[in-house]
Amino acid sequence: MDVAAAQLKLWREHPAQMVRDLFDAEPDTWQEEVLEAFPHQQKLAMKASKGPGKLQPKSMIVETPCGPRRWGDITVGDFLFGEDGAPTRVTAVFDNGDMPLYEVFFDDGTSTYAGSDHLWKVRGAAERVRKCAVPYDRSTRNEEVWSVLTTSQIIGRGVRNHNGRWAGRQFEIPRHGPVRFPKIIQPLDAYVLGVWLGDGTAASGQYTSIDLDIAAEIRRRGYEVGPLIDAKTGTIYGLAGELRRLGLLGLNSHERFVPKTYRYASIEQRSDILAGLMDTDGTIDADGSMEFAVTSRRLLLDLMWLVRSLGGVAVERQIKKGW
């Protein structure tokens, strides 16, 4: 084995030594522990550790593969979601005591908390401008220019990009993949429930729609659909009993919600209930964006949660009365 190959083998087996050799830096105890663990377990999550800057308040509720958990209750061996949405085991927990936090807001109306050393993968406006200034090249059109900055560095560079009278956000973060909850047994098909939540009759298994494609899809999923009444109301047989057990039967449009068993479900099951909702009360614009009109705020929040859990972006808009 030549010298170069031997050096690469050493670095692969001991990444901490690679940091020393290439960057002339000495990892602290915690950093060396993480680096040395990486070749053997490449999916790691560290909670509240000073090294990767995952400082967050203990009282914050986070989504995990086992449902919502309090951040301060996460222990070694628990699972969180990785960047790709897959479950990732927590291998270390560090308590940093009382430290200042920032509340970080995003353009979809969501927010989170982070410490000054929290690491963010970002793409800035200046980098996008430089990228657009070069001649168009099909071979590199999907290339993304990203960097990693701390919260303090982002604040120092300016959160807003001022362009005359307009001030736009200076940085963007990458979208995550859909989070992966396990598939579970559900009393009703998820698509069928989505249709009823969108256009169902409160006291029965009937739904109001003239879309024959919806009826065909319900039949394809193993349900019997009665003939349309008054050319617009159909009945899904055997639905009322299951709706009652789910606590949904009798709820009017402004009272409806997505049961927990349909939110913390597999990607396919969450996609199905979202499709049922959108097929009834959703629309799609020419630019590909979609809208969902609803009177139940609880159902609205559930739908936005579903979209975000699948890696999408959901923004709430209120329609003024009389418009």
At 31-59, the pLDDT tens digits run 676 677 766 665 555 544 444 446 778 88
**Banded model confidence at residue 163, pLDDT cuts 50, 70, 90:** low
Above pLDDT 90, what percent of the chain? 36
Is residue 288 over pLDDT 70?
yes
Residue 169 has pLDDT above 50, yes or no: yes
Residue 19: its pLDDT value, please?
74
pLDDT on residue 199:
92
pLDDT surpassing 80 at residue 60: yes
Average pLDDT over residues 202-231: 86
Beta strands in the chain (DSSP E): 45-47, 61-64, 67-70, 79-81, 87-93, 102-105, 111-114, 119-124, 147-150, 160-163, 166-169, 171-172, 206-208, 233-235, 282-284, 290-292
Determine the pLDDT at residue 13: 81
Query: Which of 126-130, 210-214, 245-249, 310-314 shows the lowest per-residue confidence on average (mean pLDDT)?
Result: 126-130
Residue 35, Cβ neighbours under 10 Å: how many? 17
The more confidently predicted of residues 232 and 262 is 262
Q: What is the pLDDT of residues 79-94, one digit of tens each?
A: 999 888 899 999 888 8
